[in-house]
Amino acid sequence: MPIGSEPELCPAGTWWDAVRTPEHVGRRAVELIEEQGLAVGPVILDEGGREPRMYFLTPAGTSARWEEAETVALGLTCHVVVPPAERTASPGLHWYRLPARPHTLNLPDGLHHALIKARREREGTV
């Protein structure tokens, strides 16, 4: 995590990969994961721009096998702007869920299932 008080551009693919999704799908995915009694790993919310986005940090290597509509997996050669630890509220870029402890990340399978269900609910195809 950034040590200072400003966000930092951090490389993906070394300690973690990231899965980017629209905010409305990501928020519902977090709820679905929690409803299953599973832990939610670190999630960044970027409310700036036309389309607010969420970034779920996952184990490095996830991007190599990730496939899901309306998401983008970010691994090697990609970067993510990471907020400092004290940024946990709106407005702007902040932690939606802080890392619970070092090396705690979102599990790809659980995240994948939650994102599928969240997207289908949004589309009305559940």
- 3 token code pair: 């040590």
Mean pLDDT for the stretch of residues 79-95:
93
Q: Which two tokens stand for residue 117?
A: 């269900």
pTM of the entire predicted model: 0.94
Does residue 7 carry a pLDDT above 70? yes
What pLDDT shows up at residue 1?
A: 66
Q: What percent of the chain has pLDDT over 70?
A: 98
Q: What is the pLDDT of residues 104-118, one digit of tens each?
A: 899 999 999 999 999
- Residue 117 CA to residue 126 CA, distance in Å, equals 7
Element (H, E) at 31: helix 23-35
Relative to beta strand 94-97, strand 43-46 is antiparallel
3-state secondary structure 78-126: CEEEECCCCCCCCCCCEEEECCCCCCCCCCHHHHHHHHHHHHHHHHCCC
What whole-number distance in Å separates Cα of residue 108 and Cα of residue 12?
15
Place of tokens 């899965």: 19
User: What span, in angstroms and rounded, lies between the C-alpha atoms of 9 and 69?
Assistant: 25
29 falls in which pLDDT band (50, 70, 90)?
Answer: very high
Which run of H or of E encompasses 9? strand 8-11
The span from the CA of 37 to the CA of 44, in Å, is 21
> 123 or 1: whose pLDDT is higher?
123
